[in-house]
Amino acid sequence: MKKAIRGAVTSLVFMVLVAMAARITFAWDEARKIPPGVLAIVPFQQETGNIAYSLAQGQGFGSVFRTDTGPTAWLAPVYPVLIARIFKIFGTFTTTAFFAAVFLNILFSSAACVPVFFAGKRIGGLGVASLAAWLWAFFPGAIMMPFEWIWDTSLSALLSATILWATLALAESGRVFNWCGYGLLWGFALMTNPALGTLLPFFLGWLARRGRQAYCGLGESRLRWKRVLMAAGVAILCCVPWTIRNYTTFHRFIPLRSNLPFELWLGNNDIFDEHARNGRKVITRTEETRRYAQLGETAYMQEKWQFAISFMASHSGLELRLAERKFAAFWSGVESPSRTFRETDSNLVRGILLSSLLTAAGAFAGVLVLWRSRSAITFPLAVFPLIFPCLYYVTHADLRYRHPIDPVLCVLTAIAAASAWELVRARKHMGAGAETERAAGGAGPP
């Protein structure tokens, strides 16, 4: 019986199936509470759905606000194209299309168990691998996100976990094919969620340095650098067609996305200044759609950039307070987690808050464990919680923006839990040994 239980607990196939069952159950339970007409339309009333609609109608990658405003580079192309294909197959704004999109997200989210498991196995063995994969399988945010957001969020989580696994594996590989595949993986990730690109230079730098430490010969070190540059080149080449399209369309250099000025302004504007004269108290979609249509995307983004930079330069003290609020929102999902936990009557909200805070604490504890043990893989794991969130501390944050790194946070939490368990076992063993010595000493002659 013990052997059977252990086999089930450490079975990757079983983990993936359980993860999928948990996500399908949540989606089914939520969907039956919402009228079909709402499910068919409301989840697609955002940038991804609007661009996918434009693509499905044969109008190209544009109309980010679902009005005929022409081409856009607001989002990277991969996920809107996927949703557009779903519209083509299952109909535009239908409940069938919605459930198809949700099921696709569920597949992405459940499949993330695989890289989480193998990354954890490389780091800490089967115990860490199994614990990390089970944490991800039952992670409340991961169960909820495929249904709640028809966005690249679940796919980005799969990609970040796969990038970690591939990076750890590539550190021991000298095959050109593997390095080219690594570049393709990064290229696909950049075309899905450009925010993941903040990690790319750190991973490539670590791989180059790791190779220099592993090989003593100068020739081997140079060869390692060539492989790193080759992987970077492949990743860039994957993005070149999209960048050329953006330059041809907008007559300016837009490597991946154009909406950074808008996101920066959204988190840094007069709404946050209680003493601002004639400041707006709310940002409405209708007003922003009208302004966007009036100016066009290029001028609109330039205006938002100027507004945001001017606000940040003139409100340095407020910016620090806003950064604190964004920090809390990124790691817990809300700006005041303790107050929200007390005031909410939803067990789901409480579960999401607790799991988010526990994995945040567990992730930083895991980084500390690796650092204290002088592990060679501390750096690539640490960049996820230390580097990736910085963009959102400056712009604006919520739980959805953190989700791409949640699988890695589960790995780090599993590392911290395994280390704590080993420490407890060691202390018990030492205590048992001391008791045995005392007993043996008492049984001897006076």
pLDDT at position 6 is 78
Q: Is 443 domain-assigned?
A: no
Q: Phi and psi at residue 71, in whole multiples of 5°?
A: -60, 160
pLDDT at position 379 is 95
How far is residue 96 from each of residues 99, 101, 149, 331, measured CA to CA in Å?
A: 5, 9, 16, 34
Report the alpha-carbon distance of residue 411 to residue 139 in Å, rounded.
12
Q: Is 244 domain-assigned?
A: yes
- Are 357 and 349 a contacting pair, CB within 8 Å? no
Q: Is 430 domain-assigned?
A: no
Of 157, 148, 48, the closest CA to residue 108 belongs to: 157
Report the alpha-carbon distance of residue 212 to residue 214 in Å, rounded.
6
Within 10 A of 347 (CB to CB), how many other CB atoms are there?
8
Domain count, the chain: 1
Of 9, 16, 14, the closest CA to residue 126 belongs to: 9
Q: Is 12 domain-assigned?
A: yes
Given a cut of 90, whether residue 1 has pLDDT beyond it is no
Containing domain of residue 198, as a range?
2-424
What one-letter code names the amino acid at 23? R
| pLDDT tens profile 269-304 | 989 888 776 666 788 888 999 999 999 999 999 999
Q: Is 379 domain-assigned?
A: yes
**pTM (two decimals):** 0.93
Report the alpha-carbon distance of residue 233 to residue 39 in Å, rounded.
42
- What percent of the chain stands above pLDDT 90? 77
The CA radius of gyration of the chain, in Å to the nearest whole number, is 25
pLDDT at position 218 is 47
Interaxial angle between packed helices 285-295 and 297-314, expressed in degrees from 0 to 180 and rounded to the nearest 10: 120
Of 253, 198, 257, the closest CA to residue 391 belongs to: 198
Exposed, middle or buried, 304 (CB in 10 Å: 0-12/13-18/19+)? Answer: buried
Q: Is 146 domain-assigned?
A: yes
| pLDDT tens profile 405-416 | 999 999 999 999
Q: Is 260 domain-assigned?
A: yes
Within 10 A of 53 (CB to CB), how many other CB atoms are there?
20
| pLDDT tens profile 173-201 | 878 899 999 999 999 999 999 999 999 99
441 band by pLDDT with thresholds 50, 70 and 90 = low
Q: Is 228 domain-assigned?
A: yes
| pLDDT tens profile 332-343 | 988 888 899 888
Residues 6+ apart with CB under 8 A from 78: 152, 155, 188, 191, 192
| pLDDT tens profile 233-263 | 999 999 999 999 999 999 999 999 999 999 9
Span 30-58, average pLDDT: 95
